[in-house]
Amino acid sequence: MLELKTLGLFLLTALAEILGCYLPYLWLREGKSIWLLLPAALSLAMFAWLLSLHPQAAGRVYAAYGGVYIFAAILWLWAVDGVRPTAWDMLGSAVALTGMAIIMFAPRTA
């Protein structure tokens, strides 16, 4: 159950970070409203807050989060950008998620 909670929290964190970066992209590259910067800032603040909710040491959380971010970014590529991931994208995501699982869920001694 802890594993599902951790993964879910990481996925929410990744969504907040990607959205917080995508909205300024829309303003800068697509000519959308500057008002997109307000929800972008809120999303990035939520990203930082969500990372703080993990009970593990911050460095471990940041390292492991990177693996979930890679997976979420590939999903974003498909769902939002409309670009179908390649087999290499999927393999890279699987490797990154495996790294996250090793970092977060490996047995540890105190």
1-10, 16-25, 97-106: which range is least confident on average? Answer: 1-10
pLDDT band at 1 (very low <50, low <70, confident <90, very high): confident
Indicate whether 91 belongs to any domain. Answer: yes
Indicate whether 110 belongs to any domain. Answer: no
Residues 74-90 have pLDDT tens digits of 999 999 999 999 999 99
| Contact in structure between 108 and 56 (CB atoms under 8 Å) | no
Question: How many domains are there within the chain?
Answer: 1
Question: Nearest-5° angle of CA 89, CA 104, CA 109?
Answer: 150
Q: Give the model's pLDDT for residue 110.
A: 63
Owning domain of residue 14:
2-105
Q: Is residue 71 classed as helix, strand or coil in its secondary structure?
A: helix
